[in-house]
Structure 1
Protein backbone atom coordinates (compact mmCIF):
# COMPACT_ATOMS: atom_id res chain seq x y z
CA UNK A 1 0.00 0.00 0.00
CA UNK A 2 1.06 3.57 -0.65
CA UNK A 3 0.29 6.53 1.55
CA UNK A 4 0.43 10.30 1.36
CA UNK A 5 0.92 12.78 4.17
CA UNK A 6 0.50 16.52 4.37
CA UNK A 7 0.09 19.24 6.98
CA UNK A 8 -3.24 21.02 6.52
CA UNK A 9 -3.39 23.77 9.10
CA UNK A 10 -4.15 24.82 12.66
CA UNK A 11 -7.52 24.44 14.36
CA UNK A 12 -9.01 24.69 17.86
CA UNK A 13 -8.77 21.46 19.86
CA UNK A 14 -12.55 21.19 20.28
CA UNK A 15 -13.19 21.54 16.54
CA UNK A 16 -10.71 18.80 15.70
CA UNK A 17 -11.99 16.28 18.25
CA UNK A 18 -15.61 17.03 17.39
CA UNK A 19 -14.81 16.31 13.73
CA UNK A 20 -13.09 13.05 14.60
CA UNK A 21 -16.04 11.87 16.70
CA UNK A 22 -18.62 12.71 14.04
CA UNK A 23 -16.88 11.81 10.79
CA UNK A 24 -13.99 9.42 11.33
CA UNK A 25 -15.96 6.35 12.34
CA UNK A 26 -15.41 4.24 9.21
CA UNK A 27 -12.33 2.00 9.54
CA UNK A 28 -12.40 1.48 5.73
CA UNK A 29 -12.03 5.18 4.93
CA UNK A 30 -9.30 6.48 2.67
CA UNK A 31 -8.02 9.23 4.98
CA UNK A 32 -7.32 9.87 8.63
CA UNK A 33 -6.59 13.18 10.29
CA UNK A 34 -3.94 13.71 12.94
CA UNK A 35 -3.86 16.46 15.54
CA UNK A 36 -0.79 17.46 17.53
CA UNK A 37 -0.34 20.35 19.99
CA UNK A 38 3.18 20.86 18.61
CA UNK A 39 4.67 20.96 15.15
CA UNK A 40 6.97 17.98 15.59
CA UNK A 41 7.34 14.66 13.84
CA UNK A 42 7.16 12.86 17.19
CA UNK A 43 3.91 14.64 18.06
CA UNK A 44 2.28 13.61 14.79
CA UNK A 45 3.53 10.02 15.05
CA UNK A 46 2.07 9.84 18.56
CA UNK A 47 -1.20 11.21 17.18
CA UNK A 48 -1.56 8.07 15.04
CA UNK A 49 -2.26 6.19 18.28
CA UNK A 50 -5.25 8.45 19.01
CA UNK A 51 -7.12 7.86 15.75
CA UNK A 52 -10.63 6.58 16.48
CA UNK A 53 -11.62 3.47 14.53
CA UNK A 54 -8.11 3.25 13.14
CA UNK A 55 -8.06 2.02 9.52
CA UNK A 56 -6.49 -1.37 8.81
CA UNK A 57 -3.35 0.04 7.17
CA UNK A 58 0.35 -0.74 7.30
CA UNK A 59 1.10 1.81 10.02
CA UNK A 60 4.86 1.26 9.73
CA UNK A 61 4.57 2.40 6.10
CA UNK A 62 2.45 5.36 7.20
CA UNK A 63 5.13 6.44 9.67
CA UNK A 64 7.80 6.02 6.98
CA UNK A 65 5.76 8.30 4.70
CA UNK A 66 5.52 10.86 7.51
CA UNK A 67 9.28 10.73 8.11
CA UNK A 68 9.98 11.17 4.39
CA UNK A 69 7.68 14.20 4.30
CA UNK A 70 9.48 15.65 7.31
CA UNK A 71 12.88 15.17 5.69
CA UNK A 72 11.90 16.76 2.36
CA UNK A 73 9.64 19.69 3.35
CA UNK A 74 11.65 21.71 5.85
CA UNK A 75 10.41 25.12 4.66
CA UNK A 76 6.79 23.97 4.86
CA UNK A 77 7.36 22.69 8.40
CA UNK A 78 9.02 25.95 9.46
CA UNK A 79 6.02 27.87 8.11
CA UNK A 80 3.63 25.77 10.20
CA UNK A 81 5.82 26.16 13.30
CA UNK A 82 5.59 29.94 12.95
CA UNK A 83 1.83 29.68 12.36
CA UNK A 84 1.38 27.54 15.49
CA UNK A 85 3.34 30.08 17.55
CA UNK A 86 0.84 32.79 16.62
CA UNK A 87 -2.13 30.87 18.07
CA UNK A 88 -3.18 30.13 21.63
CA UNK A 89 -2.32 26.90 23.40
CA UNK A 90 -5.81 25.50 22.71
CA UNK A 91 -4.99 24.65 19.10
CA UNK A 92 -3.70 21.65 17.21
CA UNK A 93 -1.63 21.22 14.10
CA UNK A 94 -3.76 19.14 11.72
CA UNK A 95 -2.28 16.73 9.22
CA UNK A 96 -3.82 14.18 6.88
CA UNK A 97 -2.61 10.73 5.95
CA UNK A 98 -4.31 8.91 3.07
CA UNK A 99 -4.23 5.44 1.62
CA UNK A 100 -3.80 6.21 -2.08
CA UNK A 101 -5.30 2.90 -3.25
CA UNK A 102 -8.53 3.36 -1.27
CA UNK A 103 -8.67 7.05 -2.19
CA UNK A 104 -8.41 6.16 -5.89
CA UNK A 105 -11.27 3.66 -5.49
CA UNK A 106 -13.43 6.34 -3.86
CA UNK A 107 -12.74 8.78 -6.70
CA UNK A 108 -13.48 6.14 -9.36
CA UNK A 109 -16.78 5.31 -7.64
CA UNK A 110 -17.81 8.95 -8.09
CA UNK A 111 -17.52 8.68 -11.88
Structure 2
Protein backbone atom coordinates (compact mmCIF):
# COMPACT_ATOMS: atom_id res chain seq x y z
CA UNK A 1 0.00 0.00 0.00
CA UNK A 2 1.29 3.48 -0.86
CA UNK A 3 0.68 6.44 1.40
CA UNK A 4 0.45 10.19 1.07
CA UNK A 5 1.32 12.63 3.84
CA UNK A 6 0.79 16.38 3.85
CA UNK A 7 0.69 19.13 6.45
CA UNK A 8 -2.62 20.91 5.90
CA UNK A 9 -2.52 23.81 8.30
CA UNK A 10 -3.06 25.08 11.81
CA UNK A 11 -6.36 24.73 13.65
CA UNK A 12 -7.74 25.53 17.09
CA UNK A 13 -7.84 22.40 19.26
CA UNK A 14 -11.63 22.50 19.72
CA UNK A 15 -12.28 22.84 16.00
CA UNK A 16 -10.09 19.84 15.23
CA UNK A 17 -11.72 17.83 18.03
CA UNK A 18 -15.15 18.70 16.63
CA UNK A 19 -14.07 17.58 13.15
CA UNK A 20 -12.78 14.26 14.50
CA UNK A 21 -16.02 13.69 16.45
CA UNK A 22 -18.06 14.34 13.30
CA UNK A 23 -16.02 11.73 11.44
CA UNK A 24 -16.64 9.22 14.27
CA UNK A 25 -20.36 10.07 14.34
CA UNK A 26 -20.71 9.38 10.63
CA UNK A 27 -18.51 6.29 11.00
CA UNK A 28 -16.48 7.51 8.08
CA UNK A 29 -13.70 5.01 7.39
CA UNK A 30 -12.26 6.44 4.22
CA UNK A 31 -8.63 5.40 4.53
CA UNK A 32 -7.77 9.02 5.23
CA UNK A 33 -6.59 9.94 8.72
CA UNK A 34 -6.38 13.54 9.95
CA UNK A 35 -3.77 14.00 12.65
CA UNK A 36 -3.14 16.81 15.10
CA UNK A 37 -0.05 17.73 17.08
CA UNK A 38 0.89 20.55 19.41
CA UNK A 39 4.43 20.56 17.99
CA UNK A 40 5.71 20.69 14.44
CA UNK A 41 8.61 18.30 14.90
CA UNK A 42 9.37 15.00 13.22
CA UNK A 43 9.05 13.20 16.57
CA UNK A 44 5.61 14.73 17.19
CA UNK A 45 4.37 13.82 13.72
CA UNK A 46 5.65 10.26 14.09
CA UNK A 47 3.87 10.04 17.46
CA UNK A 48 0.61 11.18 15.86
CA UNK A 49 0.92 8.52 13.14
CA UNK A 50 1.50 5.84 15.77
CA UNK A 51 -1.96 6.62 17.20
CA UNK A 52 -3.71 5.50 14.00
CA UNK A 53 -6.04 2.62 14.77
CA UNK A 54 -4.67 -0.85 14.04
CA UNK A 55 -8.11 -1.60 12.55
CA UNK A 56 -6.99 0.29 9.45
CA UNK A 57 -4.61 -2.57 8.73
CA UNK A 58 -1.99 -0.12 7.46
CA UNK A 59 1.68 -0.97 7.16
CA UNK A 60 2.90 1.28 9.98
CA UNK A 61 6.55 1.13 8.90
CA UNK A 62 5.65 2.24 5.40
CA UNK A 63 3.37 5.00 6.71
CA UNK A 64 6.16 6.26 8.98
CA UNK A 65 8.62 6.17 6.08
CA UNK A 66 6.21 8.38 4.11
CA UNK A 67 6.17 10.93 6.96
CA UNK A 68 9.97 10.87 7.28
CA UNK A 69 10.40 11.28 3.51
CA UNK A 70 8.00 14.24 3.57
CA UNK A 71 9.98 15.80 6.41
CA UNK A 72 13.31 15.35 4.64
CA UNK A 73 12.13 16.74 1.28
CA UNK A 74 9.96 19.68 2.37
CA UNK A 75 12.15 21.80 4.62
CA UNK A 76 10.67 25.11 3.43
CA UNK A 77 7.08 23.96 3.99
CA UNK A 78 7.94 22.63 7.43
CA UNK A 79 9.59 25.90 8.43
CA UNK A 80 6.53 27.77 7.17
CA UNK A 81 4.14 25.64 9.23
CA UNK A 82 6.36 25.83 12.31
CA UNK A 83 6.13 29.63 12.13
CA UNK A 84 2.35 29.56 11.59
CA UNK A 85 1.87 27.24 14.57
CA UNK A 86 4.07 29.42 16.75
CA UNK A 87 2.18 32.56 15.63
CA UNK A 88 -1.18 30.91 16.35
CA UNK A 89 -0.41 30.20 20.01
CA UNK A 90 -0.71 27.32 22.45
CA UNK A 91 -4.39 26.50 21.85
CA UNK A 92 -3.69 25.37 18.29
CA UNK A 93 -2.52 22.22 16.54
CA UNK A 94 -0.62 21.50 13.37
CA UNK A 95 -2.98 19.39 11.23
CA UNK A 96 -1.75 16.78 8.79
CA UNK A 97 -3.31 14.13 6.60
CA UNK A 98 -2.09 10.57 6.14
CA UNK A 99 -3.89 8.49 3.56
CA UNK A 100 -3.47 5.52 1.35
CA UNK A 101 -3.46 6.72 -2.27
CA UNK A 102 -6.60 4.83 -3.33
CA UNK A 103 -8.64 6.22 -0.45
CA UNK A 104 -7.36 9.73 -1.05
CA UNK A 105 -8.34 9.49 -4.73
CA UNK A 106 -11.81 8.28 -3.74
CA UNK A 107 -12.24 11.16 -1.28
CA UNK A 108 -11.14 13.73 -3.86
CA UNK A 109 -13.45 12.21 -6.48
CA UNK A 110 -16.33 12.49 -4.01
CA UNK A 111 -15.48 16.14 -3.33
CA UNK A 112 -15.41 16.95 -7.03
CA UNK A 113 -18.54 14.88 -7.80
CA UNK A 114 -17.00 12.69 -10.46
TM-score clears 0.5: yes
TM-score, normalisation: structure 1: 0.85
Of 9-18 and 45-54, the range deviating more from structure 2: 45-54
Match of 2:4 in 1: 4
- Whole-angstrom CA distance in 2 between matches of 1:54 and 1:89: 31
**Residue 26 of structure 1: which of 22, 25, 28 is its match?**
28
Structure 2: how far apart are the matches of 1:95 and 1:5? 7
For the aligned residues, what is the CA RMSD?
A: 2.1
- Report the alpha carbon displacement of residue 33 of structure 1 after superposing the two structures with TM: 0.6
After superposition, what is the alpha-carbon deviation per residue over 1:16-57, rounded to whole angstroms, capped at 9, x for unaligned?
A: 111112115434x12101100011111111112444685221
Q: TM-score, normalization: structure 2? A: 0.83
Aligned residue pair count: 109
What 5-or-longer segments of structure 2 have no aligned partner? none
Show the counterpart of 2:37.
36
* Cα separation, partners in 2 of 1:12 and 1:23, compared to 1, 3 Å: same
Q: Which residue of 2 aligns with 1:14?
A: 14
Specify every segment of 5 or more residues in structure 1 that has no aligned partner in the other structure, as ranges: none
Measure the CA separation in 1 of the matches of 2:66 and 2:54.
21
Partner of 1:101: 102
Alpha-carbon distance in structure 2 between the residues aligned to 1:34 and 1:89:
17
CA–CA separation in structure 2 for the residues paired with 1:65 and 1:75: 17
